[in-house]
Structure 1
Amino acid sequence: MDPSSSKHLHLHYTTPAVSWDEALPLGNGRLGCLVYGRPGKELIQLNEDSVWYGGPQDRIPDSRSHLPRLRELIRAGKHAEAEELVRTAFYANPSSMRHYEPLGTLMLEFSDSEHAVGGIGDVQMDDSGEDVGEVRNYKRSLDLETATARASYARKGTSIQSDILASYPDNVIAIRISASRTCRFHVRLTRLGEVEWETQEYLDSVTAVDTNRLLMKATPGGANSNRLAAVLGVRCDDGIGTVKPFGGTLMVEATVCTIVLGAQTTFRHADPGFAAMAEVSKALDRGWLRMLERHITDYKSLFHRTSLRMWPDNSSIPTDKRIKESRDPGLVALYHNYGRYLMISSSRDGEKALPATLQGIWNPSFAPAWGSKYTININIQMNYWPVAACNLMECALPLVSLLERMAERGKVTARKMYGCKGWCAHHNTDIWADTAPQDRWMPATLWPLSGVWLVNDCIGMLQHKYDHNLHERLFSSLQGSIDFLLDFLISDSSGKFLVTNPSLSPENTFITSSGKEGILCEGSAMDMSIVRLAFENFLWSCGRISPSNSLISSAMSVISCIQPLIINDQGLIQEWGLADYTEKEPGHRHVSHLFALYPHNAISPMKSTALCEAAKKVLDRRAAHGGGHTGWSRAWLLNMHARLLDDEGCGKHMDLLLENSTLPNMLNTHPPFQIDGNFGACAGVLECLVQSTIMPDWPYRLLIRILPACPKEWDRGEMKGVRVKNGWKVSFDWKKGRKVDHVEVEGTEEGNSVATVLFPDGERVEVDGLGCHEVSRGKTPASRWAGEMGLPLP
């Protein structure tokens, strides 16, 4: 844990956190915490991913009899009447599903702590004039290489250091307090919101168990909620220290001690207190050093699969000042690496595993923004965009588990709301896999394609690392979504194309030629891109695992009839299907009609210059009207500009993301905090550095572009182990002027594919898929087939 060993992977500060936006996150995928690093009165806010308000609900409206009328009104352009029918018949009751809550708050209150919360370097005096609170040599850091946080300082002649980790192998949060001489502090466990001076405690009881344990029990509100239990244990490691229960707290006197916290709910255990107590006891018996070793070994097995460094690297500047003043290429690399760290920390497989929410696992509020739920009209999808390229497929398994539960509950939703087979979901879900409409907000609520999008993204991950067993798991959900689409799609008014109806472009609003506002349409650009991709994924999947599937012929017929993307008279991709409406908000945060550009790749410089030009005009129009004003939206724009090989645009959007949408602790802000921007930009940085395309003539031919959209400011760098399509891995470094001399590529174990490596200067080199190759410019024959394909150069 030497903080000097890998400075480029450190977030570090010279002052403690004053607010949650400055505190440092740790997590083991299930348990999470935000560490403030405060002298005298340390504050650690706690989360456990199954602590949610309430239990499962039955909210699905029986609206299928109203669907024909709704479709008629939408086709006739009677927008006000259509929306009134939606409000009457299609909204759920209650309108909102469940929301995520904090686990609790842990405080370490040192003697004289009331004097020690002042400014760093300030001298605090008591009534007699004695110096009691001076804090010097303060340092606070988060080490991404070991997933550990540290705070150290000297106070009243005593040096104190706290180290903290969230262990996946031991299933606990552990803290090590070390002091140069015996110090006294109280350990307090409670359940407070993010406002520290509030007096409400959302708990049932806190009791001392034995001499060195605290047990906190709580029952979140709402029917059938998950009861929770948190257990805290302390062990003195110096041989002379003591731990005593004291008024619902533990009083510790020691030079070195270990504090361990475990927590469970009835979501996973009938007796969460018993389960948490057992985990804490095992961890304390194991001891700090063994826990630390097990934690680092486990974490590095994931984090070290890929790496990225860039220079210049001003890592010596404190991170909060660096975000404001420097924004150097090394900070961009740190942002990417931080995204990988956050993924490993907030989404791990295990018993009834849950994916990362809108805030990962780090929610401080009992009334969080948007419920800190799973928002699935882009946000949870964006959370998992970097997983495949960063070779972290295990981290996506909690998402697959939630998808499987959604597919089961979504069968009732599809039948009752639309009279369709298969399953569907709307734009949110929760811990109970709720698939009914969320909210009563017309621009978002009635959109039944979120589940289809989620399936598409999970299937897309298999193109980077194929797993037959995972494919079989996903295929059931995929086929269920195809069943739904086969029933849900209808012919357009011309009878030529198949479209969705009702349809919308998520969260956006249009203006008709008569000046009226509208939302609902037929066959929005996003809908039809998602539908086409779903059927393509289905046919690809059938070729792998279900070659005689009875739906193959139907799927092939549908693909030939799907409404294609339209370029309107302004040269823009038309957002609302066949109707060329004007946007009410041209700088809107969603760029849904460019789904085919990213995360899909149907719009590509290799496939259609006209569609690429239209997509670029959409992005230019968004930028001219203030687009990208939310952090996650800016991250989406970064990926889209990368796909258009626009290095200048990528540099601009990454810089604006750091400048306007990054908190002092490097978490992304909408505002408020949303973690999807961290994950979206984590993926976007890699899109600037390497892209891969499976060639249409033969699925085992791969084009690997090196530095396709690398901003000129990213002067020098080194990337290792990034996984691209067909299972290949790529490593290289580059110098000023985007000069790349060597690229190391590693094919799949089967070796059944070939790849063309396209260097930044346009040179192409072909390699086979067997083993590892070092590809050098000018030393390997250029690919004949790549040239024959006429692939465009950057």
Structure 2
Amino acid sequence: MHPKLRYVHPAPDWNSALPLGNGRLGAMVYGGIHTETLRLNEESVWYGGPQPPRTPFGARHHLEELRKLIRAGQHGDAESLVRQRFLATPKSARHYEPLGTCTIDFEHGPGRSGPGGPQNMVKEYTRDLDLAKAEAVVQYTIDGITVRREAIVTNADNVIAIRITAASEITFNVSLTRMSDVEWEVNEFLDSIEVLDKRIVLHATPGGKNSNSLCLAAGARADSSGSVEVVGRELKVRAKEALVVLAAQTEYRHVNVQEASLADIDAAFKYTTTELWKRHVEDWTKIYGRMSIQLYPDDAHLATDHRLTTHRDPGLASLYFAYARYLLLSCSRPSPKALPATLQGIWNPSFQPPWGSKYTININLQMNYWNANTSNLSECEIPFFDLLERLAVNGQRTATEVWGCRGWCAHHNTDIFADTETQDRWMPATLWPLGGAWLCTHIREHYCFNGDKRFLARMVPVLQGCVRFLLDFLVSDASGQYLVTNPSLSPENTFRHSESGETGVFCEGSTMDMEIVRQVFSDYLFAAAEFQAEAFSTSTIEEVKAAIQRLQPITISPEHGTIQEWGLSDYEETELGHRHVSHLYALHPGSAITPISTPGLAEAARRTLLRRIEHGGGHTGWSRAWLINLWARLRQPEQCGLNIEALLRDSTLPNMLDTHPPFQIDGNFGGAGGILECLVQSHEVIAVEGRPAVRVIRLLPSCPEDWQRGEVKGLKCRGGFELSFKWDAGVICEPVIVQSKLANELVLFFHRVGPDAEDMGTQVSVPARVGEHFVYKDGLSDT
């Protein structure tokens, strides 16, 4: 059964349109009856070119003064100094822009009006997005003529293709433009449109110095009895079957963007339409088809928007997960000069997008890849690491001039050009140089799933530069006992000082900061051990070993029993239901807190979550997604179920994209990661004296009670394992199939769904052999 999004009406707006993408090109397909609209994106269309360093030269000379003000609790003075000496000009990195719009106007049916046209002449309208084939399909009957449109964005041939068929000849017009999504904005943001040899060619240069110029082109092909002619700057097509192909390139990859775009169209037209579709589906399914989750009952026959609003069956959660895998593969695929997914993936309709549709690196870009490895899409994370390498180069100047440190750093936002300077002028977020360090924690995580030493060796210079920055940035706290970050903040949150009553954002050693530093140091020592310290500095290794022993620990509030957010200072939060839960980083995405290894901290984390939720936490889509992951790590299936329900009910648009509001794609990826954490967890290890640590894999550790029956295929686990299993009536069925990729040892825990979920059921411990399948029955292992 193919997972599909289903609708019985055209999309009235962008929030109902359906996304397609091949990693580089993106399209939102509306499915109108008289007018088909495709809102288009290309990943390298950004406003302006690379900017020169923006943070004032010599900011580092004021660092000691800033640290003293923070230690003295003079928060207003500290913020005043930051405004004067540490903030960048211009204040913003570059922002992402739309590519353009393709419109296909059909000359059928009378009295066209509104976004979808009149409904009285239309029968049997359906609109689907087939996730297994990456194809959007619209079909309807009008004036007795059945019309079918199929759209793909093919990676195999690097174009957007629309196949149009009808029971008898129809006429339609194809046009291109580049206009704002704001309805009263009538300007076309382009340089020119012309028709060359029956190809529409649009040129545009996004504003700003040294901008990436772009070319968007369209061509059409009719069947043997049909025709394609030029009318003004449009293509007029008459046919029973026709193919429309769109292509686009920018100067980010090509010197002659028109030549490259037209070459893509010509190459696609060398294939029959059937061949083009076949090549696309084969390319897509060989990656997308590796893994799946299915939950029952599944009312897949119902319209998706109806399921979201009134009928949230368990199958809807597995559709949400399948959709997130679809979105990740559609907006983040490895290729020359590939870019990672932005705040909106590659689907941005606005020339003034929310938060610039940039890469926000104090949670959002990281969350985009939380489910990449577990859902068997590890290669989709490669564009993330490509950007990280460029940040490590640019961030050297930032580390030196702003902080007087070795190595490199990046703040809370970046762009296509890997900008590392301070971003915005918002005090709770701007001056936070650990964004790059958080990105570096993905290096070991990626390696743990596939054991690729070539990848790890490639990232060693990045990791070493980050470590050197952190070693220099850390200072002794007032007592001299601990090492802390200063200045430090807890991203986007604000506190009230208990003594002065003054509000502030800067502290020494926020809990998130210290746990990120601890993890980066641990990851560095792990990488050094993997290579027997080859290519690693012995002195740096010793520095890290000494520093990690002095890092400030996580502290529990004596008043509330919660984890303190601002390190050793038990400040009062000004917003108790804040969307960020940064101080629980060690629970997820980190793994230092677990119910087994640190029960006291796990209980404090549980109380922290309850306090957040009681005061309205989780009110943004991505924040709710983070809560799901946190509850899953605490093995609280009831809370997982409640928060998944809230995500689907309150933070999911009709087209199943996540809403902050407005749309942000990180909630889709984070939510999918949380669904996986409910079903399988592999972040724990058992330390055995004198032997390598053994990976622990838990099956159904936090499965909500109404997910009584389901199936998982091809799920990836840390340690190089791939799992497939079923469960029914809340109990795991035999056999559980595990394939070992790296010959590591593992321990399996079988949990149950329902009131006795804490009963661990069967426990299996076996040495694995690389490349072999193991089938587990009654605690025994058979190959």
- 2:553 corresponds, among 564, 574, 594, to 564
- 1:78 corresponds, among 74, 80, 94, to 74
TM-superposed CA distance for 1:462, in Å, is: 1.1
Structure 2 equivalent of residue 241 of structure 1 = 226
Structure 1 equivalent of residue 729 of structure 2 = 736
**Is 1:336 matched up with 2:297?**
no
Q: 3-state DSSP class of the match of 2:238?
A: strand
Q: Partners of 2:527 and 2:613 in 1: how far apart?
A: 38
Structure 2 equivalent of residue 535 of structure 1 = 521
CA contact (8 A) 1:25 1:35 kept: yes
Q: Partners of 1:254 and 1:563 in 2: how far apart?
A: 71
TM-superposed CA distance for 1:329, in Å, is: 0.6
Note the alpha carbon deviations across 1:745-790, whole angstroms, 9 max, x for none: 1112x42434334443422112221211111235569xxxxxxxxx
**Is 1:141 matched up with 2:121?**
no
- The 5 A counterparts of 1:245-284 are 245-284=230-269
Letter in 2 for 1:274: E
TM-superposed CA distance for 1:291, in Å, is: 1.4
**Is 1:694 matched up with 2:693?**
no
Letter in 1 for 2:367: M
User: CA 1:415–1:121 in 2, change beyond 3 Å: closer, same or farther?
Assistant: closer
Structure 2 equivalent of residue 27 of structure 1 = 21
TM-superposed CA distance for 1:606, in Å, is: 2.0
Q: Partners of 1:387 and 1:179 in 2: how far apart?
A: 40
Moved more, 693-702 or 515-524: 693-702
Q: Partners of 2:102 and 2:744 in 1: how far apart?
A: 54
**Is 1:90 matched up with 2:86?**
yes
Note the alpha carbon deviations across 1:687-717, whole angstroms, 9 max, x for none: 0001112223354511111100000011210
- The 5 A counterparts of 1:56-71 are 56-58=50-52, 59-62=54-57, 63-71=59-67
Q: Partners of 2:400 and 2:272 in 1: how far apart?
A: 54
TM-superposed CA distance for 1:112, in Å, is: 4.9
- The 5 A counterparts of 1:439-450 are 439-450=424-435
- 2:446 corresponds, among 450, 457, 461, to 461
Note the alpha carbon deviations across 1:97-130, whole angstroms, 9 max, x for none: 1000000000001115772346989566xxxxxx
TM-superposed CA distance for 1:197, in Å, is: 5.4
Letter in 2 for 1:618: T
**Is 1:475 matched up with 2:460?**
yes
**Is 1:525 matched up with 2:525?**
no
CA contact (8 A) 2:368 2:670 kept: yes
Q: 3-state DSSP class of the match of 2:448?
A: coil
- The 5 A counterparts of 1:637-656 are 637-656=627-646
Letter in 1 for 2:405: C
Note the alpha carbon deviations across 1:376-406, whole angstroms, 9 max, x for none: 0000000000011012111111111110011
Structure 2 equivalent of residue 554 of structure 1 = 543
TM-superposed CA distance for 1:557, in Å, is: 0.5
Q: Partners of 1:214 and 1:520 in 2: how far apart?
A: 54
- 1:430 corresponds, among 407, 411, 415, to 415
Q: 3-state DSSP class of the match of 1:355?
A: coil
**Is 1:674 matched up with 2:664?**
yes
Q: Partners of 2:210 and 2:272 in 1: how far apart?
A: 37
**Is 1:324 matched up with 2:309?**
yes
Q: 3-state DSSP class of the match of 2:515?
A: helix
Moved more, 568-577 or 638-647: 568-577
Superposition misfits of 4+ residues, deviation over 4 angstroms: 117-124, 778-781
TM-superposed CA distance for 1:294, in Å, is: 1.1
CA contact (8 A) 2:658 2:666 kept: yes
CA contact (8 A) 1:41 1:116 kept: no
CA contact (8 A) 2:33 2:117 kept: no
Note the alpha carbon deviations across 1:226-249, whole angstroms, 9 max, x for none: 00001111111x201111111111
Note the alpha carbon deviations across 1:217-269, whole angstroms, 9 max, x for none: 00100111100001111111x20111111111111111111111110000110
Q: Partners of 2:115 and 2:440 in 1: how far apart?
A: 51
TM-superposed CA distance for 1:371, in Å, is: 0.2
Q: Partners of 1:120 and 1:88 in 2: how far apart?
A: 53
Q: What are structure 1's unaligned runs of at least 5 residues?
A: 1-5, 125-133, 782-794
Structure 1 equivalent of residue 775 of structure 2 = 774
Q: What are structure 2's unaligned runs of at least 5 residues?
A: 753-758
- 1:170 corresponds, among 136, 147, 157, to 157
Q: 3-state DSSP class of the match of 2:81?
A: helix
Q: 3-state DSSP class of the match of 1:464?
A: helix
Q: 3-state DSSP class of the match of 2:730?
A: coil
Structure 2 equivalent of residue 186 of structure 1 = 173
Q: 3-state DSSP class of the match of 1:678?
A: helix
- 1:231 corresponds, among 185, 209, 217, to 217
**Is 1:285 matched up with 2:275?**
no
Letter in 2 for 1:777: D
Letter in 2 for 1:31: L
Note the alpha carbon deviations across 1:421-476, whole angstroms, 9 max, x for none: 10000000000000001100000000000000001123212111121111111111
CA contact (8 A) 1:425 1:435 kept: yes
Structure 2 equivalent of residue 588 of structure 1 = 578
* Number of equivalenced pairs: 763
Structure 2 equivalent of residue 308 of structure 1 = 293
TM-superposed CA distance for 1:193, in Å, is: 1.5
CA contact (8 A) 1:229 1:272 kept: yes
User: CA 1:631–1:699 in 2, change beyond 3 Å: closer, same or farther?
Assistant: farther
Structure 1 equivalent of residue 33 of structure 2 = 39
CA contact (8 A) 1:425 1:450 kept: yes
Q: Partners of 2:266 and 2:118 in 1: how far apart?
A: 40
**Is 1:577 matched up with 2:570?**
no
Structure 2 equivalent of residue 496 of structure 1 = 481
Letter in 2 for 1:600: G
Q: 3-state DSSP class of the match of 1:231?
A: strand
Q: Partners of 2:618 and 2:699 in 1: how far apart?
A: 27
Note the alpha carbon deviations across 1:286-328, whole angstroms, 9 max, x for none: 1321111111111111111111100011111100011001111
Q: 3-state DSSP class of the match of 1:253?
A: strand
Across the aligned residues of Structure 1 and Structure 2, the Cα RMSD in angstroms comes to 1.5
Q: What is the TM-score with the length of structure 1 in the denominator?
A: 0.94
Q: Partners of 1:114 and 1:599 in 2: how far apart?
A: 56
Q: What is the TM-score with the length of structure 2 in the denominator?
A: 0.96
Letter in 1 for 2:322: N
Letter in 2 for 1:555: V
CA contact (8 A) 1:743 1:775 kept: yes
Moved more, 17-26 or 764-773: 764-773
CA contact (8 A) 1:414 1:424 kept: yes
Q: Partners of 2:720 and 2:602 in 1: how far apart?
A: 27
Q: 3-state DSSP class of the match of 2:710?
A: strand
User: CA 1:511–1:110 in 2, change beyond 3 Å: closer, same or farther?
Assistant: same
CA contact (8 A) 2:161 2:243 kept: yes
